[in-house]
Amino acid sequence: MTKKIHGFCLQKKERIYPNSGVSVTNNTAVVPIEIPQLKEGEILAKTLYTGICGSDTSAAIGKANFDWVERPRIIGHEFSAEVLELGPGDHGDVKVGDIFTPLAMLGCQKEACPACSVSKWNLCAEKEIIGFHRNGGFGQRVVLESDRVVHLLDGLSPVQGALVEPLSIITNALYTKCNIKPGQDVVVTGCGIIGLMSAEVARAAGARVAVTGIAQDRNIRLKKAKDRGFITLEVSPENTLRQQLKAGVFDANGVAFGQQAKVDLLIECSGVADVLTEAIGVVRPEGDICVIATYGQDVAINATHLTRTSLNIKGSMGSCRTDYLVAMKLMLTGVFPAEHYTDQYNFNELTQAFEDSITAKNMKAVVKMN
């Protein structure tokens, strides 16, 4: 191979505060990478498009919940790629030239594992996340286990391929964990891509959806939510979600949203501890709270209120192969309109793509890798 290949590498974990003027390059660098020898069951692939996840930016700015990631590490777990070479061993139906997206989480696949024995690698205690436990999709080449390969359905573009993993997390959370129903009033807290994907998927299921954001989100992410026809609520410590529901929230037809200031389901995508603390006060008795975010600290919950309202708080971690298939079909049929949510960058703009994501200037940064 004559061309030098590069990757976006986590190096340090100093805490960087968004909009503080400190560059993400204090913790990261685009570096030349070497292709390791392929081991049994591994393949070499050329990355096509790689998306920046909230977990990637969190790790890049040194948030405590990603301290565990070893540095140096080429990150990236949301990508499409083309198979270049098969290593030793059996690769099933994976062939050179195949276009795929990888399962972000690879389980131990031991028979005795309670998660892997039911094909839920996302819940395996020993799962390995590509881009965190091993080098990932922000390298121009990537070596991975062929067990991770999910072939893209015909008709899906490589750009859409980079969105399959995040969308699969939402389909798992909403359709499998929360059993969302038509006619429900749903609040999505947080208007990053996971929040807005949740809003789209909830609406597709027949729910009425309101999305919250903060002042920083007003011109880009909340505006996008509004353009897409969702109710939008800009919240602050002085004007909380709970206060706004109490004061009355209305949909585009002027019909009241929620009942007595309570909704049926709240989907927590902000990762802000106080938001989850507040959430149990805005969901109706026997309603659901679905937690998709992770937190840099413990979250205080009024457990007595939880008991007295018979609320269900459900965590939802990652996704598995079946969720990937659902996500791909949602994009193929246009139920999830990926084109409204992708901001494309070239490889030489990779650091800028991270900066823009950290400062909430885009929706989903997707980087053309080669």
Q: Give dist(CA 275, CA 289) in Å, integer.
A: 12
**Residue 194 corresponds to which tokens in the numbers above?**
């996971």
DSSP 173: I
Amino acid at 209: V
Pairing outcome for strands 28-32 and 73-74: unpaired
263 binds Zn ion, rule: CB under 5 A: no
116 binds Zn ion, rule: CB under 5 A: yes
Choices 92-100, 102-110, 275-283, 292-300 (CB under 5 A): range interacting with Zn ion: 102-110
What element of type H or E holds 158?
helix 158-161
Give least dist CB 137 to Zn ion, A.
Answer: 11
53 binds Zn ion, rule: CB under 5 A: yes
Any long-range contacts for 231-238 (C-beta under 8 Å, 24+ apart)?
231/257, 232/191, 233/187
Q: Hey, which residues between 202 and 261 contact Zn ion (CB under 5 A)?
A: none
209 three-state secondary structure: strand
107 binds Zn ion, rule: CB under 5 A: yes
Question: What is the per-residue binding string for Zn ion in 127-166, x denoting contact by CB under 5 A?
Answer: ----------------------------------------
Choices 12-20, 24-32, 107-115, 233-241 (CB under 5 A): range interacting with Zn ion: 107-115
* Binding residue for Zn ion, selected from 108, 123, 204, 273, defined by CB under 5 A: 108
* Binding residue for Zn ion, selected from 124, 164, 289, 320, defined by CB under 5 A: 124
* Binding residue for Zn ion, selected from 33, 45, 113, 187, defined by CB under 5 A: 113
List b or e across 98-127, with b for residues whose CB sees 16 or more CB atoms inside 10 angstroms.
Answer: bbbbbbbbbbeeeeebebbeeebbbbbeeb
Strand partners, 259: 262
Q: Give dist(CA 123, CA 363) in Å, integer.
A: 28
Choices 112-120, 232-240, 256-264, 322-330 (CB under 5 A): range interacting with Zn ion: 112-120
Q: Footprint of Zn ion on this chain (CB under 5 A)?
A: 53, 55, 107-108, 113, 116, 124
